[in-house]
Amino acid sequence: MNIWVFSGMYDGELFASSHLTEKGAFLTAIADIMQFTGHDDDQEDFLERYGLEAEEAPPSDMGEMRKMPLTEIVAIYRKWDGLSWDNQYGYQTAIIGTRLGV
């Protein structure tokens, strides 16, 4: 059985969650990065902090993303992930595919 692990690190602490679908792992990662970047708190502050215009911001509607194919979700994850690279907390994420069974 294939599973996908959303793995991350924040301030030296590791965390992970396991998912039955690759899409689920990527959606979880996007939601976590959105929370880390402060997107959920204040949209204007988020845009200013990252030097973005509203139309440049990565998609953030989780309901709409759930309807998208995996290829689009991966592209959105890469945009969000790129915003989190330069941070003072050592925050980073990864999606790891693995296999359960004998």
Q: For the whole model, what pTM was predicted?
A: 0.92
pLDDT of residue 72: 97
Alpha-carbon span 94 to 4, nearest angstrom: 10
Q: Which two tokens stand for residue 88?
A: 């003072």
pLDDT of residue 20: 96
**Is the four-CA dihedral 70, 23, 6, 62 of positive or negative sign?**
positive
Question: Which value, in Å, is the radius of gyration of the alpha carbons in the chain?
Answer: 14
Range of the domain at 46: 2-99
Q: Which two tokens stand for residue 93?
A: 């994420």
The domain tally of the chain equals 1
pLDDT of residue 42: 81
Low-confidence ranges of the chain (pLDDT < 70): 102
